[in-house]
Structure 1
Amino acid sequence: MTPLATAPTVPFLDVPRRRIGTGATAASVLAIVAGTAAVVVSYVVGVLDRRGRAIDDAVLRDAFGLGLRREALDLLDYVGIPSVALAVVVLAGLALVRGRADRAVAVVALVLGAQVVTQVTKALLPRPDSADVNSLPSGHVTLVASLGVALVLVAPRLLAPVAALAAVAVTAFAGVAVMLAGWHRPSDVVAALGVVAATTGVVTLAAALLRARRRRRSA
């Protein structure tokens, strides 16, 4: 019989970590693919396709016609540079207080990265047969959705479901508000959500790769 001390050992503690790491990487890649697809489909259907563009414009007109523009603008007034900057500082600070410097960096990278992608995409994508400036994706929805994801990232595990529900609710309000205000079409909102999903995937994937690299160095 092989002595216990010299018997092959199975790194039981490493198995869950490897599985978690693999799952996180797969989820990140899925978010990147799904988010990118959402942006592409939104642009093709809502902008390039004439029938899709007509439906998109009709929904915007109907939403604007509800006469709730003033109320929508009052809500959107809270989504500005000062309030967003304050929210980022608070969320990053919360992550630092919890000893998660990596999450603090992720918050800043996510919010800034998603907004940069949105603005670059909006500037590069043309809107055929229209004198309007391209509005896809929505910058306001991008900000609110990215802050919602950042809240989930820094929330304690027990409060994560509550944070997720709050993020979904606030993002939904923002998506409806930009249409009621006459600022954005449905495709703009969907594209913004796609940008945030893809950016979240990039940020979390980069974090997972960095953790794996540190583990290899320390092994």
Structure 2
Amino acid sequence: MTDQTLPLPDHREESSTNYAGPRIPRRRPRPAPRITAVVVAALALWAVWLTWDTFVASPLGQRADQLALEGAARGQNTLWELAEPVLGVVSNSFIGLGLAAAVILALARGRWWLAVQVAILVGGSNLTTQVLKHAVLDRPALLDVPRADINTLPSGHTTVAASIAVGLLIAVPRRWRPVVAVAGAAYTAATGVSTLIGQWHRPSDVVAAILVVLAWGAGVCALSSPSSLDAPQDGPQRGTSGAAALLLLGAAGTGALAVGALGSVRGDGWGLPLGGDLTAYMGGMLGVVAVTLGAFALLLLVRQSTARP
């Protein structure tokens, strides 16, 4: 009699359980790539200070930077025809349109936190540049030249160009990042070199701006959330290693030439048969290209690693 009083199984509950299926653990960002991103950001900030300390706070550094500025007068009429349109693109409208494009792209992919990361990157980079230039860093008048005490480090135009390029690098899908990294590096380098051609900035100003964006770009990658991760089927892309290797190889080559030119300006190293201002100018251009290529290679690797599911 007692067996007949046992409750019958609830088939509705069983079918409901079978329909829902087992719970799948939510993907979370891996800690190691995020720690690496923090280290890259910290080193980039330190490099900003080192750039200022070497080329602004010391007489020898100021001399090399000033020679590069004066060397830009050579051939400027011809080069400015190429540089002026590049600099003309950079404006408040450009910032708004570039930021909107990156944010909309992230939202279209259903990545709301990724859109926030892009906004933090662009806003933080440009605000940092203005604060450093006008409120934190100074320029001691160590040389007898006009406006010797007016600080111009970091470059605002270069910061705008680099931050928009890195914002797009962060927002696009995984397979497109190598292409965007190479294109963004080329555009940023062109903008930075154009400010040298127009004698708007010295090489150290441009280098510091790129390093500011590198710090913010790596920093926001360290803030990755599940919304920032790639889809599970997006595994490693062969294009990533190829693009990173190309950028790093270019950085090593131009960097070696820039160091040689700097040594020549200081009176040691190469004995180039060129005037000191032209050597410094060419070395400054090469240094800008080297730092730009290296920064975008790092950002590509950091973004891909922090976004890997």
Is 1:29–2:38 an aligned residue pair?
A: yes
Deviations 1:4-44 (A, max 9, x none): xxxxxxxxx98xx67x5223212221221221122111101
Distance (Å, rounded) in 2 between the aligned partners of 1:63 and 1:106: 37
Q: CA deviation at 1:166?
A: 0.7
Larger RCO, structures 1/2 (Cα 8 Å, 6+ apart): 1
Residue equivalent to 1:175: 192
Residue equivalent to 2:151: 134
Residue equivalent to 2:106: 95
CA contact (8 A) 1:25 1:208 kept: no
Name the aligned partner's letter for residue 157 of structure 2. Answer: H
Match of 1:71 among 79, 82, 96: 82
Q: What TM-score, normalized by structure 1, do the two folds share?
A: 0.82
Q: Which runs of 5+ in 2 are unaligned?
A: 1-23, 142-146, 229-309
Distance (Å, rounded) in 2 between the aligned partners of 1:94 and 1:133: 39
SS of 2:72 mapped into structure 1: helix
Alignment of 1:140-155 (within 5 A): 140-155=157-172
Distance (Å, rounded) in 2 between the aligned partners of 1:34 and 1:81: 29
SS of 2:56 mapped into structure 1: helix
Name the aligned partner's letter for residue 116 of structure 1. Answer: L
Match of 2:53 among 44, 47, 71: 44
Residue equivalent to 2:263: none
Distance (Å, rounded) in 2 between the aligned partners of 1:64 and 1:24: 45
Is 1:120–2:131 an aligned residue pair?
A: yes
Distance (Å, rounded) in 2 between the aligned partners of 1:204 and 1:138: 23
CA contact (8 A) 2:121 2:167 kept: yes
Q: 1:158 to 1:209 in 2, by over 3 A?
A: closer
Which structure has the larger Rg? 2
Residue equivalent to 1:54: 63
Q: CA deviation at 1:70?
A: 4.2
Deviations 1:36-81 (A, max 9, x none): 1221111011101111111111112223422123432221010000
Residue equivalent to 1:166: 183
Deviations 1:114-135 (A, max 9, x none): 0000000001211111545211
Residue equivalent to 1:204: 221
Show structure 1 runs of 4+ deviating over 6 A: none
Q: CA deviation at 1:202?
A: 2.5
Deviations 1:172-204 (A, max 9, x none): 101101100101111111111111111123322
Q: What TM-score, normalized by structure 2, do the two folds share?
A: 0.59
Q: Which runs of 5+ in 1 are unaligned?
A: 1-12, 212-219
Name the aligned partner's letter for residue 161 of structure 2. Answer: V
Q: Which protein has the bigger helix share?
A: 1
Q: CA deviation at 1:99?
A: 0.8
Deviations 1:139-181 (A, max 9, x none): 1111111111111111111111101111111111011011001
Q: 1:43 to 1:209 in 2, by over 3 A?
A: farther
SS of 1:133 mapped into structure 2: coil
CA contact (8 A) 1:37 1:194 kept: no
Residue equivalent to 1:6: none
Distance (Å, rounded) in 2 between the aligned partners of 1:59 and 1:209: 46
SS of 2:65 mapped into structure 1: helix
SS of 1:77 mapped into structure 2: helix
Number of residue pairs matched? 196
